Amino acid sequence: MKFTWFHLMPWPHMPDDFREKHRSVWVDLPNRMYQPELGHIAYHQYLDQLEYAETVGFDGIGVNEHHANAYGLMPSPNIMAATLTRRTSKAALVVLGNSIALYNPPLRVAEEMAMLDVLSGGRLIAGFPVGTSMDTNYAYGTIPALTREKYAEAHELIRKAWAADEPFAFNGRYTKLRYVNCWPKPLQQQMPVFIPGGGSVETYDFCIDNTYSYSYLSYSGYLRARLLMDGYWKRVAERKVDESPYRAGFAQVICVADSDEEAERLYGPHVNYFYNRCLHVYPGFADAPGYRTVKTIQTGALSQFTSAAARDYPSMSWKDLTENRYIVAGSPETVRQQLEELIKTLRVGNIFCLMHIGNMPDDKVRHSTKLFAEKVMPHLRNLWPEWQNHDDRFWCHPMHEPVPTRIAAE
């Protein structure tokens, strides 16, 4: 198993009456709410937490991209990952990822990711999300029905740019470049790629075709994720490729305390903040018409992503959230049992551990992280022995002897 400590970097200062005063945490929330001085503190605390996760033994540390929102404050994940290249040395840098349909030209992504890979000594795991409709369509103005075509073309350009040894011309519909010439080149010959998916069936085949790991990001927990992940594994079987569990990952909100009761006392308010404020998205921004393909709508797999599901959050108690496994929370033994069930039922080799939740203060984040690293993670390491608990195709390939970062000063 591979465990990545993943940060969303939410705005932790939304007021108690946030839901009443604002229709959405995304797209049209006035940025007068953002206070740069407090933002300075939050950014550094969040980056410290990612660095801390490496010291306690997480395999990877993760960042992502969102726009115009208080849910996640990383419009540029690459800037965050760049700071981490300097202060970490072992963990994979999981950039999950760059919304490649939004860059003009998308070659920028190839260049910046190559920079990150070289800087980190080959520790980059790249992610190419289509992006939420809030980000891609409403905040960045991409035409919904053309988003996927634009995405596919950007992907083709990035892959060719990384693979080429000399300049070439790229005549795309959305990007025309007479000279594509990616300096620097990435350090890794075969860049591992994770694709965040949210229920689009086209993404299954895209991952299988390219040997990318399918990463399902959901906040409704592993019981409800079964339908979608079963669909993915069914497709893997139909395509007659191997069934390595590292072909898939799942993001999970996790809270660890000394006991189940203690977990509720310590983390309850922050989980509540996350589900009621961070996920408070106006339904009109959730799914621009044309963003989903007709094929995906026809599968009916989207019912669990509809606003109906989101509307339930405000009424959910800690008991509802834990018993229905929206979150995995409790004593180390409780968390271990539930995660083992998650890993086996969804058949995933990657877990993206969401351990900073909502407005959780730093000491609690570290407490939960440390307990997980010491008392949970070691017992979950060996769940895929038939795969030697590792799949080279779906993880980074660091240089053997990274250059000490202080060398220039010496």
Partner 1 sequence: MKSKFLALEPLGARIEVVEAGKGRDLLFLHGAGGHMVDDPLLAALASKYRVVAPLLPGYGQSEGEDGLRDMLDVTLHALDVLEKLELEKPIVVGHSMGGMIAAEMAAIAHTEITDLCLIAPAGLWLDAHPVVDIFSKLPYELPGLLFHDAEAGGKLLTAGRGNMEDPEFLKQFLVMNARRMGMAGKLLFPIPDRGLAGRLHRITARTLIVWGEEDALIPPVYGEAFAKAISGSKLTQIAEAGHAVGQERPAAVLDAIGDFF
Residues binding partner 1 (CB under 8 A): 27, 137-138, 141, 143-146, 173, 282-285, 288-290, 292-294, 297-298, 300, 302-303
CB 138 → partner 1: shortest distance, Å?
A: 7
CB 284 → partner 1: shortest distance, Å?
A: 4
| Two tokens, residue 348 | 């995933």
CB 101 → partner 1: shortest distance, Å?
A: 14
**In 3D, which of 30, 13, 230, 246 has the Cα closest to residue 125?**
246
Pick the closer one to partner 1 by CB: 142 or 368: 142
Question: How far, in whole angstroms, is CA 182 from its chain's centroid?
Answer: 26
Pick the closer one to partner 1 by CB: 284 or 361: 284
Judge whether 213 and 350 are in contact, CB under 8 Å.
yes
**In 3D, which of 344, 138, 119 has the Cα closest to residue 245?**
344
Pick the closer one to partner 1 by CB: 211 or 293: 293
| Two tokens, residue 168 | 């070439």
**In 3D, which of 4, 6, 190 has the Cα closest to residue 91?**
4
Burial of 201 (0-12, 13-18, 19+ CB in 10 A): buried
Judge whether 216 and 183 are in contact, CB under 8 Å.
no
| Two tokens, residue 122 | 């080959």
Pick the closer one to partner 1 by CB: 5 or 26: 26
Pick the closer one to partner 1 by CB: 231 or 268: 231
CB 134 → partner 1: shortest distance, Å?
A: 10
CB 147 → partner 1: shortest distance, Å?
A: 10
CB 297 → partner 1: shortest distance, Å?
A: 5
| Two tokens, residue 365 | 């984040």
Burial of 227 (0-12, 13-18, 19+ CB in 10 A): middle
Report the C-alpha gap between 387 and 371 in whole angstroms: 27
Dihedral (C-alpha) 373, 378, 383, 385: value to the nearest 10 degrees? Answer: 130
Pick the closer one to partner 1 by CB: 220 or 299: 299
CB 168 → partner 1: shortest distance, Å?
A: 25
Pick the closer one to partner 1 by CB: 35 or 307: 307
Report the C-alpha gap between 26 and 281 in whole angstroms: 6
**Strand, coil or helix: 60:** strand
Residue with tokens 């010439």: 181
Pick the closer one to partner 1 by CB: 282 or 318: 282
CB 23 → partner 1: shortest distance, Å?
A: 10
